[in-house]
Structure 1
Amino acid sequence: MRDRTLSLPAHVASLAPRDLADARRLAAAIPARANAIEYRLDGAPEKIPATALADVDPRPVIMTWRSVREGGHFDGSAEEYRRLVSDAAAAGALVDVEHASGLADDRTLVDRRRLLVSSHFPFGLPPDWEARLTAMRQTGAFAVKLVAGAAHLRASLDLAEIQRRCADGATTVFPMGPASAPGRVLAALFGGALVYGSVGRPTASGQPPLSELLEVYETDRPRLLEAAFGIVAADPSGSLSPPVHNALFRSREMPFVYLPIPVSDFDRERPFEIELDPPFRGFSITQPWKIRAAEVGVPGEDVSATGAANTLLPERRHWRSENTDVDGVFDPLSDHDTGEGRTAVILGTGGVARAAIVAAKRLGYEVAVAGRRDSEADALATRFGTDSIAWAGVEETEADLYVNATPVGWLPDDPPAIPVRVLDTRPLVFDCVYRRDGRETSTVRAARAAGCRAVSGLEMFAVQAAAQARLFGVADVTREEVARILIGGRPS
């Protein structure tokens, strides 16, 4: 039997195998920098022998059966739980034992060097969390873990701060749930003894892929941070901003980190007012908060022009809002031709559509706007002095340029955002949407199949991200450098 003790800190590949063959398949995809494997077995449709699992990979193995009470799927008896833990320990695995089960105090059951004691609180941090951590440490386990639900940004960051305060080399504290992403990254960088990331499919709510933690955030390289940045979105998981901005920081040896910041209520959570160590020095803003962000602080020229902001920057006594999306549309469009004497149809009524309208008008296009809600398109047309088109009438138009500024296209099964019928006249097609895996959107595929010139959302992203990075203090960033990062460092 192999020595299954684990040196800390450790990055743990968390797997949820359905059977032994699935365990082998998932294990083959584990990043080389992972130190250990966790098998989450409470959701497996059939029992997988502990001895067989222990031999799938030479790395130390943690076996876990998370109870329904603590956010998992195990609902068996206390006797069954004890038997599963005992079998795993006999197979040479480390075991994650819930403190509430009482088994952690049984020193005859598991060698303390192979015992991880945990407590999970899906609905938030309990007031007596310090006493609970103390009680878990008193079991003599090699490591203890406390996980609490984070329904909003402040709760997520608070748990990361607790991890910083409790960083003794054997304690792990991190959030779970919809707002957990920034807290998980920071908890790892603040000295978490165990850093969990998924391989294949998440094993817990809000769990990021292990490859992303290692490659994008370099959480296996704890370091002193002087500033934090982040992308504020309802769901930032599809954004390429974290890998790009963190790569730019690394290339210039800047002690910064760029975080995903999920915000479900911009007015209530107000991320720009949150105090953090390291301090926030800038935010990227994406859907659906660009119009709300324009109301924060002093607007830059393109924020005043569009009524939308994709960047917030702190100044001495206030925040400044900027909009680099306008350049993101203007520059790639100007690579093709000017809009003098030409017509453009902009699909969408949100923040990106506003940037597209301003950019197209600056190039000389005669612009018309269409939205799924005709009333919103009419209001936008009135604001910008353009025409509006009923959504149902777009396929009857013959414009020189079509811009997709709707969210349609970032999902693999989305249909083209632009009616195929309008492509017969070979217009220029500009898709503001990109897919995180770098593949063409359905809109770009349809345009090129029809013989149209097409500008992808990645081209827009490269321009706006480079401009935004310069606002964040990263010198000499070009769209070409961002494009190289996208080609060479896109997460899987």
Structure 2
Amino acid sequence: MTLLCVPLVAKTVEQMMADMAAAKARGADLVEIRLDHLSDFEPRRDLPLLVGDRPLPVLVTYRPKWEGGEYEGDDKQRFEALCLAMELGAEYVDVELKVADDFVRLISGKKPDNFKLIVSSHNYQSTPSSEELSSLVARIQAAGADIVKIATTAVDIVDVTRMFQVIVHCQVPMIGLVMGERGLISRLLCPKFGGYLTFGTLGVGKESAPGQPTISDLLNVYNIRQIGADTKIFGIVGKPVGHSKSPVLLNAAFKSVGLDAVYVPLLVDDLVNFLNAYSSTDFAGFSCTIPHKEAAVGCCDKVDPIAKSIGAVNTIIRRPSDGKLIGYNTDYVGAISAIEDGIRGSQGVGKETVSPLAGKVFVIIGAGGAGKALAYGAKEKGAKVVIANRTYERARELANLIGGHALTLAELETFHPEDGMILANTTSIGMQPNVNGTPIRKQALGSYSVVFDAVYTPRATRLLREAEESGATVVSGLEMFIRQAMGQFELFTNLTAPENLMRDTVMRYT
């Protein structure tokens, strides 16, 4: 079982002890005591307090500056402190490969039975080749490590595949982590690939290395205790992905139906490279978001006819029988049905056969994947579609495709052929952290009776607030998000989506 370790990086012994108690309460298996972070550390005074009477097993690290830590003194004092920690009963001590030979000689014949030495190597620039990583594992083993630890940095998410490969083939216990946001899955999927431990922090700002998630997210969002060798992996492919609530939503839904699966954020720069690298059927399906929805069409072996017509894929399924990639689009149903229901709700009418969009001027801001989905859906419902985009050529291209009209964003400010129009923003303008952004000035909103914003973080964007103040019915991107996610869940699992649970989950986390 992969252990959950909370790094303790407080400046005082008192705070470190308080954090240790908090780590136990949150469900940690052990803590890493980072002695180099203590501002006034005195080994003989402080170590008996930290190691002597403690609620959890401890891993003691005294990381020097030259390996990414805070300690700037000589190795003699550092080694004395680590030896004392071992003598006081610390279960683990971490020492760097560069000085491992010296430390191993120092503790030779003194190691307690329940003590394990972690020998570590950190690369803050990149992730070496598989061959170099394997060679590094051999060197660390030869240095006398009980546990091998290698931490590298992800320049691209593809780098993580090399770490997974090395962990799977390592003959001794191994901690293999890839730092940075692109390496996050190395921390989340540790149990699947046999990693000895992974780190989870007590909160944001308490990380000991770049890209560490919180222990709360590991346990409650990713259900890491349930991940094993047979767990299927799904995820959201995008750039950025840190804002996405999809992992919260889909993991809760998977758990509710007892599915052995996990859904993770995947910060992807190049979709083709990503899909080629993660080609195992264990990587069973992906949600695609900005900027990969259009590129995904060309990456799939087969594309659903509607997704092909739209020219954008937001869901990719890897067929278990042959590993072929099948592309779908659940955005258009999610968005259009949300807007239709918003209009019907404001008018107090039920579902008629004729769409309330029929005959209306439907203005879409953005000509990317989501813009294409809305344009297709609105046209299907009989609306008169207008595309406004920062790059006019892209607006004209989409407008020609669906038989609509194209505008520049500047022209949109004075566009007013009739009252009671519908406006849909499909760009990321106004999304966290740039919450003060809006794609259109408030003065121009008076012509619209309904305004939809695909952005759902924050829930009430500036566009929606100003539209409501201008008298329009507003439809949150959260509605589209929930509905398209339900469609994805059903494609991923062939099960009916647990709608009430998914709605409750989204409302709780946004």
Question: Which band: TM-score by shorter chain?
Answer: 0.7 to 0.9
Q: Equivalent residues in 2 for 1:273-312 (5 A)? A: 274-276=278-280, 279-296=282-299, 297-312=301-316
Cα drift, residue 18 of structure 1: 5.1
Q: Which residue pairs with 1:4 in the alignment?
A: none
Q: Equivalent residues in 2 for 1:57-456 (5 A)? A: 58-72=55-69, 74=71, 76-79=73-76, 81-82=78-79, 85=82, 94-102=92-100, 103-108=102-107, 113=115, 115-122=117-124, 123-125=126-128, 127=131, 129-130=133-134, 132-134=136-138, 136-137=140-141, 143-166=147-170, 170-199=173-202, 200-201=204-205, 202-225=207-230, 227-267=232-272, 269-271=273-275, 274-276=278-280, 279-296=282-299, 297-315=301-319, 316=322, 318-337=324-343, 338-398=356-416, 400-417=421-438, 418-424=440-446, 427-435=449-457, 439-456=459-476
User: Which range is displaced more, 90-99 or 284-293?
Assistant: 90-99
Q: Are 1:461 and 2:481 matched, yes or no?
A: yes
Paired residue secondary structure (2:342): coil
Provide the rounded CA distance (Å) in 1 between the counterparts of 2:20 and 2:464.
36
* 1:348-386 per-position Cα deviation (integer Å, ceiling 9, x unaligned): 121111112122223333222222233332333233322
1:167 touches 1:191 (CA, 8 Å); kept in 2?
no
Give, as a single letter, the amino acid of the residue that structure 2 aligns with 1:254. Answer: L
* 1:370-419 per-position Cα deviation (integer Å, ceiling 9, x unaligned): 22233332333233322222212333345622211111232144214242
Paired residue secondary structure (1:259): strand
Change in Cα spacing, 1:263 to 1:76, as seen in structure 2 (3 Å) is farther
Provide the rounded CA distance (Å) in 2 between the counterparts of 1:38 and 1:448.
50
Change in Cα spacing, 1:23 to 1:426, as seen in structure 2 (3 Å) is farther
Provide the rounded CA distance (Å) in 2 between the counterparts of 1:47 and 1:273.
47
1:157 touches 1:182 (CA, 8 Å); kept in 2?
no
Cα drift, residue 312 of structure 1: 1.6
Residue correspondences, number: 477
Paired residue secondary structure (1:335): helix
Provide the rounded CA distance (Å) in 2 between the counterparts of 1:9 and 1:318.
32
Q: Are 1:32 and 2:26 matched, yes or no?
A: yes
Q: Which runs of 5+ in 2 are unaligned?
A: 344-355
Paired residue secondary structure (2:225): coil
Give, as a single letter, the amino acid of the residue that structure 2 aligns with 1:306. Answer: I
1:294 touches 1:309 (CA, 8 Å); kept in 2?
yes
Q: Which runs of 5+ in 1 are unaligned?
A: 1-7
Cα drift, residue 475 of structure 1: 0.7
Over the aligned positions, Cα root-mean-square deviation in angstroms equals: 3.3
Provide the rounded CA distance (Å) in 1 between the counterparts of 2:232 and 2:137.
30
Provide the rounded CA distance (Å) in 1 between the counterparts of 2:323 and 2:282.
15
Q: Which residue pairs with 2:349 in the alignment?
A: none
Paired residue secondary structure (1:328): helix
Question: TM-score w.r.t. structure 2 length?
Answer: 0.81
Paired residue secondary structure (1:96): strand
Cα drift, residue 328 of structure 1: 1.4
1:182 touches 1:261 (CA, 8 Å); kept in 2?
yes
Identity %: 28
Provide the rounded CA distance (Å) in 2 between the counterparts of 1:386 and 1:88.
72
Provide the rounded CA distance (Å) in 2 between the counterparts of 1:190 and 1:326.
37
* 1:222-259 per-position Cα deviation (integer Å, ceiling 9, x unaligned): 43425332222223322222232222222222222323
Larger Rg: 2
User: Which range is displaced more, 22-31 or 136-145?
Assistant: 22-31
Paired residue secondary structure (2:128): coil
2:227 touches 2:260 (CA, 8 Å); kept in 1?
no
Q: Which residue pairs with 2:353 in the alignment?
A: none
User: Which range is displaced more, 30-39 or 326-335?
Assistant: 30-39
Change in Cα spacing, 1:273 to 1:128, as seen in structure 2 (3 Å) is closer
Provide the rounded CA distance (Å) in 1 between the counterparts of 2:145 and 2:471.
65
Question: TM-score w.r.t. structure 1 length?
Answer: 0.84
Give, as a single letter, the amino acid of the residue that structure 2 aligns with 1:355. Answer: A
Provide the rounded CA distance (Å) in 2 between the counterparts of 1:160 and 1:458.
35
Change in Cα spacing, 1:479 to 1:463, as seen in structure 2 (3 Å) is farther
Paired residue secondary structure (1:34): coil
* 1:35-66 per-position Cα deviation (integer Å, ceiling 9, x unaligned): 22224465x59445654666997333434344
Give, as a single letter, the amino acid of the residue that structure 1 aligns with 2:329. Answer: N
Change in Cα spacing, 1:313 to 1:10, as seen in structure 2 (3 Å) is closer
2:161 touches 2:278 (CA, 8 Å); kept in 1?
no
Give, as a single letter, the amino acid of the residue that structure 2 aligns with 1:328. Answer: G
**Higher helix proportion (structure 1 or 2):** 2
